[in-house]
Amino acid sequence: MGLTDLAYDDLDIQHGMAAVVKYGEMIASSSEQKQKTLRGQLLEYCERDTYAMVQIHRGLREMVG
């Protein structure tokens, strides 16, 4: 992944608040299939979000020396 891959447009979950809502849906659902689908979507979102934070951290470290 590069810096151009930091957009969330290609994901089912694109915002932090949407992730919170989907998490609530996942834990409240009695459907194993829905739980599995939502878990996968949440993991994709969290992976992208974590990668973005790592890139921000690297950029800030480069700025200070």
Contact 42, 13 (CB under 8 A): yes
DSSP string, 30-64: --HHHHHHHHHHHHHHHHHHHHHHHHHHHHHHHHH
What does the alpha-carbon distance between residue 8 and residue 24 come to, in Å, rounded to a whole number?
20
The answer as to whether 26 is a domain residue is: yes
Tens digits of residue pLDDT in 8-31: 999 999 999 999 999 999 999 999
The answer as to whether 40 is a domain residue is: yes
The answer as to whether 1 is a domain residue is: no
Number of domains in the chain: 1
Question: What residue type is assigned to position 2 of the chain?
Answer: G
Q: In the structure, what pLDDT confidence band is assigned to residue 65 with cuts at 50, 70 and 90? A: confident
Q: Which domain holds residue 35?
A: 8-64
The answer as to whether 3 is a domain residue is: no
Tens digits of residue pLDDT in 40-56: 999 999 999 999 999 99
The answer as to whether 28 is a domain residue is: yes
The answer as to whether 2 is a domain residue is: no
